Amino acid sequence: MSGAPAAAPPENITSAVGPRWYARARVDLDDDEPFHVASAVRPPVTVPDPSTPSTRAKDRRAQLAFLDGLRGLAALYVAVGHARWLLWEGYAEGYKLHPQRYSLLGKALVFVLAAFRWGHEAVIFFFVLSGFVIHLGYATRLAEGRGARFDLWPYLKRRAKRLYPPLVVALLITFALDSLGQSRQLPTSMRATLYPLMNANIGIDHRPVTVLRNLAFIMNPVFGSDSPLWSLSYEWYFYLIYPAVYLVARRSSKAATLAMIGLSAVGNAPIWPEPLRWLCLVCQMMIVWWFGALLADRFAGRLRADYRAIAALLLAPLALAARPWGVFAHDLIFGLGFTGLLAGCFALQERGVSLAFLARLRPVGEMSYTLYVIHFPILVFMGGSLMKANHGLLPSHFGWFGAGLLFCVLVAWALHFVIERPFMSAAARNP
């Protein structure tokens, strides 16, 4: 998010038009390469043939419905973590100094919400999920022998339509709230809080050149206080690199994986000048995105592997407890773990376990990108206002945490109807 959340399917859905007894079949395979199925069938409707592309695509869509729920939960996880940080006094600076101020429920929340400190790792999940969704359509076409053509321009248009509207609105919100905060001399907007970590991580760069760089998805630095935008730099350039990788992957997934390992090695080489540091990091992390693409190859049938064996990767993050790791190794290990998580979900489905409870969270997934890009400047402004009203201190209760989080979710929900939902496919909007 990330960092940004996974893109939704495109809009090119074919339908049959005719009298009311005509049936329209809308089948969306994935984010980039939907089937185009139009049928006109008089009742009575016969049992669908499970071997037809239409039926297979519907089955796939049902199997993948839980992914929207996971994406929504990941975006909420990030927002909860940031609300905890920006609207509550914190553990070391607050609770630890005066635990007697907290009720039993407050003490319980202190420790429950400590589980939301891993927002950066949640963005790694977005990368893995994005790799899976983007590659799945092409992997399915290859597995079914339907050709390997890659339509570059339509692909780039879909990616731009998906990312740009929420990004532009997020930049406008950031500029408005940061400017208002500076005019009111809020501590967060002036980098003058009593919390050193906030001063170090909340940006104040509003130069026009920074806007232009961010619109080119070069998020170094991010515009103003909207720190989570950093992940969009990775996501966009993953999209740009993917077509070249696909040229290799259409012949051999193993060869493409070796190419990704090589690209990661180049990214880790000490050859990058500071102005290109952002591109260096993109090259490093592309392998994590590719983990999701490999899982898509498995889902499409291009690779043979037991989901249960892949799910064992879920244990990979336990290696972090054994010894200290660098940032890249840390992210790589979490990428493996999240790949294992998705494979575990598919393994459960193979055993007949329903993931419908995740599929029911689809509305949260639909607004997840909007929530991800707009929540932080709102919370920064709210946190600064609370500090100014309380002698520079954040509250020792969780009331404002809950109110701020709810407000961000409601704003994101309203905005997504304008800046996110119109750019989803018809199938995504009308499940």
Taking the whole predicted model, whether its pTM rises above 0.75 is answered as: yes
Half-sphere exposure of 17 (CA within 13 A, CB side): 2
In Å, what is the CA distance from 236 to each residue of 267, 280, 403? Answer: 17, 14, 33
Render the burial of 223-237: b for 16+ CB within 10 Å, e for the rest.
Answer: bbbbbbbbbbbbbbb
Instruction: Please tell me the predicted confidence (pLDDT) of residue 51.
Output: 52
For every one of its 431 residues, what pLDDT tens digit does the chain have, with 9 covering 90 and above? 444 444 433 333 333 333 222 222 222 333 443 323 333 333 444 444 555 555 666 778 889 999 999 999 999 999 999 999 999 999 998 999 999 999 999 999 999 999 999 999 999 999 999 999 999 999 999 998 877 789 999 999 999 999 999 999 999 999 999 999 999 999 999 999 999 999 999 999 999 999 999 999 999 999 999 999 999 999 999 999 999 999 999 999 999 999 999 999 999 999 999 999 999 999 999 999 999 999 999 999 999 999 999 999 999 998 887 777 899 999 999 999 999 999 999 999 999 999 999 999 999 999 999 999 999 999 999 999 999 999 999 999 999 999 999 999 999 999 999 999 888 755 455 44
Whole-angstrom Cα distance, residue 75 to residue 77? 5
CB neighbour list of residue 50: distance below 8 Å, 6 or more residues apart:
56, 59
Q: Is the Cβ–Cβ distance between 25 and 425 less than 8 Å?
A: no
Whole-angstrom Cα distance, residue 163 to residue 161? 6
Instruction: Please tell me the predicted confidence (pLDDT) of residue 242.
Output: 97
Instruction: Please tell me the predicted confidence (pLDDT) of residue 325.
Output: 84
Q: Is the Cβ–Cβ distance between 358 and 342 less than 8 Å?
A: no
Q: Cα–Cα–Cα angle for 372, 401, 392, nearest 5°? A: 105
Whole-angstrom Cα distance, residue 206 to residue 223? 6
In Å, what is the CA distance from 38 to each residue of 17, 45, 120, 199, 424? Answer: 9, 15, 43, 57, 20
Please state the domain extents for the chain.
53-429
